[in-house]
Amino acid sequence: MDSDSEQVKPPQPRNILEAAQRCIDPQYTCTLLESANRNEFQLASPYSKEYRFDALLRMLVRFLKIGNFGRFEDSLLLMLVKFVREHAVQRTFRRDDLEVMWDVFLHIYLWVNKVDPPGQQCIVNFYNTVYRQFDVQTQPIFIKRLCFEMTKSKASLPYEPQWTAVLIDSFAHNIQLSSFSAELGSIWGIFADQRYDDPFAACAYYSSLFLMAKRQALLRIKLPMLQIVRRTILEKMTTQISDFVQLKEREEKVDEKSENPQELDLSTPETVHLKALLQCTIQDALRCINEVK
């Protein structure tokens, strides 16, 4: 075969920065993935860790904005996310970094809804790493903005309740800190009217909110606010879930005589478990709130 007609394999990236810069160019994607699998990106680099991280972050955002990924591009993007996470551990983020990290996570959020569960866990790990690198004064601001942007989105995303639950759990874990308790009113306000048509599919979201209310009650944080939250948010959610269950029970009775049964069967083990989990979580949270009136 003529040497001019032979396909020339691109050279190996010399370091992780160069690999990230090449990831937008299709001719380097195979080499990049092969090198990652062999863990060859631990070589010395002439660039500082800060510069390398900033470059990786820019590449990640640029890649995310391309959109329309296939399975191959998803694998490449997950790999790049892992690289950024590894470098994020060595960084301490400041308020000046909020805008770029919000941009990164909101683009990841739009993309990650079509990724399989292992990929989802990779992104959760990425979020937890970056979140912890902010100081405790900035962490609640970081979470609040993400919650606001996710809930105001009109797009119907399959993993939205689960991702919202991750943010709520992160916030609730630290509400005893003054920087977090100061934002409690804003957080409750964001979720005041946030409902999902299928509470069982959004079980993680509802459970996280009621667990945060329970924790707020047990720690006796802003109790007057909590009573308002109970009346204006939690009791309405409880009514919605109860109405949903009653509706599905009536539909099941009709379905017994129908040839086209409803998709949700309240008798399946999974649905029975979700129903019991939600009811137990709600009852426990409301009991704790009522005890601190």
CA–CA separation, 119 and 79 (whole Å):
10
- Could you say which of 82, 99, 134 is where a domain stops? 134
**Which of 50-54, 105-109, 280-284 is modeled with the greatest confidence?**
280-284
**275 and 162 fall within a common domain:** yes
**If we measure between CA atoms, which residue out of 54, 26, 56, 60 comes closest to residue 41?**
56
User: CB of 44 within 8 A of CB of 1?
Assistant: no
Q: What φ, ψ does residue 93 adopt, rounded to 5°?
A: -90, 150
In a domain, 121, yes or no: yes
- Return the CA Rg of the chain: 23
**128 and 175 fall within a common domain:** no
Which of 93-97, 137-141, 285-289 is least confident?
A: 93-97
**78 and 15 fall within a common domain:** yes
- Please report where in the chains the tokens 């001019």 appear, as a residue: 4
In a domain, 4, yes or no: no
**Mean pLDDT of the region 206-229:** 97
- Give the pLDDT score at 171: 97
**127 vs 251 pLDDT, higher one:** 127
**165 and 293 fall within a common domain:** yes
How does the average pLDDT of the chain come out, rounded? 79
**158 and 287 fall within a common domain:** yes
- Give the pLDDT score at 271: 81
Which helix or strand (DSSP H or E) is residue 216 part of?
Answer: helix 203-218
**Mean pLDDT of the region 18-24:** 51
In a domain, 147, yes or no: no
Percentage of the chain beyond pLDDT 90 is: 39
**291 vs 2 pLDDT, higher one:** 291
In a domain, 192, yes or no: yes
The domain of 268 spans: 154-256+263-293
If pLDDT is split at 50, 70 and 90, which confidence band does 71 have? low
Query: Three-state DSSP class for 134?
Result: strand
Torsion angle of the four alpha carbons 179, 181, 187, 191, in this order, in degrees rounded to the nearest 10: 160
In a domain, 3, yes or no: no
26 has a pLDDT exceeding 70: no
**Which of 3-17, 85-99, 113-127, 275-289 is modeled with the greatest confidence?**
275-289
User: CB of 192 within 8 A of CB of 151?
Assistant: no
Structure tokens at 127: 């979020």
**106 and 221 fall within a common domain:** no
CA–CA separation, 221 and 213 (whole Å):
10
**126 and 165 fall within a common domain:** no
In a domain, 108, yes or no: yes
- Give the pLDDT score at 17: 47
**118 and 78 fall within a common domain:** yes
Length of the chain counted residue by residue: 293
In a domain, 139, yes or no: no
Percentage of the chain beyond pLDDT 70 is: 72
**191 and 281 fall within a common domain:** yes
- Give the pLDDT score at 41: 45
**180 and 287 fall within a common domain:** yes
- Give the pLDDT score at 202: 93
8 has a pLDDT exceeding 70: no
If pLDDT is split at 50, 70 and 90, which confidence band does 118 have? low
**214 and 111 fall within a common domain:** no
- Could you say which of 84, 104, 134 is where a domain stops? 134
- Please report where in the chains the tokens 């993007």 appear, as a residue: 77
Could you give the number of structural domains in the chain?
2
In a domain, 87, yes or no: yes
**273 and 158 fall within a common domain:** yes
Number of helices and strands (H, E) in the chain?
14, 0
- Give the pLDDT score at 189: 96
